[in-house]
Structure 1
Amino acid sequence: MLKLPSRRNAAHKILIAFSALLLSTQAMADTAPTKVRYEEVVRSVLYLPMYVALNQGYFKDVGLDVSMKTSQGTDKGMTALLSGSADIVLIGPEASIYVANSESPVKPKVFAGLTATDGFLLLARKPVKNFSWDALKGHKVMSFRPGSNPDVFLEAALRKNGLNPKSDVQLISNVSPAARAGAWMAGQADYAIFLEPEASNLEKGGNGQVVASIGKEVGQIDFTSFTATDDYLKKNPKVVQDWTNAILRAQKYVQTAAPADLAKHISSYFPGVSEPELVATIERYRQYNIWKKDPVVRPEAMESLQDMLVASGLLEQNKRVKYQQFVVTNFATEAK
């Protein structure tokens, strides 16, 4: 006579199977990549290490699934962060200083640096053999939104070379980032600042000549950095640490990799630019030491930035923000 399994045995087997299923599901959840909503301020070769990290899978290696959006402006990037539509943004650290002095209950913190200085290049409309900053006196210069880092760094470069940004030149700062190249080609302004590869493309098309590097004039002061809200940093320390580790890995690679290899890694992010053109822009940026060697944002650099903000009339001397109020160091230090 066939012996059927008891109800107790059948129930036990079902329980074991169900438990195994739960454990399997939990294991899959534990190993599933963590989604991170990321926004860059603009699209530029200036942010080369970030594109390398994405292309080479450095974020995937540490379990992060990164989606990327271009904000078209630090102000828009900060708005995305404060509104909760982005987790991590790449913007100028000056934005965190402004918010620290504001009534906003949400306080952003810089946790890792990407660029060591300003990547904007100064273009002259007409060919110049021996450029002198004095040539800008009395002329129109296309800048960026007042209070933005491109505008602040340009003013610092002007002051360093004996020019008063308020009276010696006319800064045009009301052209949106997306419209600047078109406005320049239409004849607006005598000089302008552009990032790569836009600067090289304009130069190649006969629409100006690169005559100076703003970053070289100003020196090593962090220009763009990774920023998140204080709340996000507290709730997601592992994500932020993994992010910073991936960035350091990319920074190290960028320091020694051949420009041709780097151009291949980032070409998909610049569909309208050929690899030889990307190589040329990478070589140009490398000579100016644009990219940081590690993600640490140092106190002296932020003090210099606030000096520039004060000089530009954007920050009152008595409202300087303490370094610890807008910069978190533990993630970058741990990554090193």
Structure 2
Amino acid sequence: MIRKVFVSLICFISIISITACSFQPNNGDTIRLAEVTRSIFYAPLYVAIEKGFFEEEDLHIELTTTWGGDKTMTSLLSGGSDIALVGAETSIYVNAQEPAEPIINFAMLTQSDGTFLMARNNTADEFAWEDLKGSTFLGQRKGGMPQMTGEFVLKQNHIDPHQDLTLIQNIDFANIANAYASGTGEYVQLFEPQATMFEHQGLGSIVASFGEESGAVPYTVFMTKEGYMEENEDHIERFTRAIYKAQTWIYNASAEEVATAVAPYFDDTSTDIIADSFVRYRNQQSYAQTPVLTEEAWNNLQDIMDEAGELPERSDYNTYVNNTWAEKVINE
């Protein structure tokens, strides 16, 4: 399903390629950044903005939330943004269609799945994966990274997601939390801060982490078109350095300091919830500690996609991952 969406995306970009040239390369110190969603999972990015790490690199970030991998890649491919923060699987889908310019991954932000398993009727101490058999499980949309990782973890724990439980995956991403809160499903796969918020509200208990179960993957990555990278190497280097400063900072700062820094991005969420959500991610090292995207993580991602039947073809690490600037800034 998701693969078909990206095939359509490439066709769309091809159609508009004549008009897309009206988007001129950005030659100043402003970088237009498209993020796939707004999430505490992306705390290092917001820290880099709020703590002035981009400013120290003489960069101004114009941040846009594009709400979906397809929309994010449309923005990047058409020239509406310079850099995208999105799941690395989107670059695999797009590059498999041989676009005019390959999409290159150059800095990793998160290194594990960011979802948690919430149970309506039991606690972490009571939970066993076997409990899911015969249950109703409210998962993520088919072909997206959360759903692929979720199914991978279930299979690793001897649960067939399509035979051993009732799997619901036709609810739009933005409405999954509301569906669970309204009574749908005995189990649900949620990102933070929804999981912690629901636990505080007594709607269920977080019983497992898909990030801990699935291992290291380049879950959310900064990527750009090859042409932009070649024309703006200095921008990419300074951008990567700012991200690395933030990655280092969040692993040394208190939860309260981080919550205060990122609070402007979450108007409807208390700093206590932000802090608790952040600690849950940091404790399991979901936040990458450096921007380097390893070959092992890249291959693990493709194994998960392959298991889900969504991998169009194996994507060469050395072709579509460029760690030049990530390795430079961590060795300075």
- Whether the 8 Å contact between 1:157 and 1:214 is mirrored in structure 2 is yes
**Alignment map for 1:273-284 (pairs within 5 Å):** 273-284=269-280
Shift of 1:81: 1.2
The match for 1:165 among 161, 175, 179 is 161
SS of the residue 1:256 aligns to: coil
TM-score norm. by structure 2 comes to 0.87
For residues 1-336 of structure 1, the aligned pairs below 5 Å read: 34-128=29-123, 129-315=125-311, 319-336=313-330
- Corresponding residue SS for 1:95: helix
Contact kept in structure 1, 2:216 and 2:300, CA below 8 Å: no
Structure 1 residue identity aligned to 2:297 = A
Structure 1, 50-59 or 78-87: larger mean CA deviation? 78-87
- SS where residue 279 of structure 2 aligns? helix
Task: Sort the Cα spacing of 1:83 and 1:169 in 2 relative to 1 into closer, same or farther, 3 A.
Answer: farther
How many pairs align?
Answer: 303
Deviation at 1:177, TM superposition (A): 2.3
Give the deviation of 1:166 after TM superposition: 2.8
- Using the size of structure 1 for normalisation, the TM-score is 0.86
**1:323 is matched by which residue type in structure 2?**
Y
Rounded to whole Å, the distance in 1 between the matches of 2:100 and 2:141 is 25
Q: Distance in 2 between matches of 1:255 and 1:79?
A: 33
**In 1, Cα distance between equivalents of 2:198 and 2:101:** 40
Aligned partners of 2:223 and 2:172: how far apart in 1? 23
Counterpart CA distance in 1 for 2:39 and 2:281 is 11
Which blocks of at least 5 consecutive residues in structure 2 are unaligned?
1-26
Give the aligned residue type for 2:277: T
Aligned CA-pair RMSD: 1.6
Question: Match for 1:329: what amino acid?
Answer: N
Question: How many Å apart are 1:161 and its aligned residue?
Answer: 0.6
Q: Deviations over 1:106-141 (max 9, x none)?
A: 321111001110111111122334111111123232
Structure with the greater alpha carbon radius of gyration: 1
Gaps of 5+ in 1: 1-31
Q: What does residue 8 of structure 1 align with?
A: none
Q: Give the conservation status (yes or no) of the 8 Å contact 1:259–1:279.
A: yes
Give the Cα separation in 2 of the matches to 1:326 and 1:170.
37
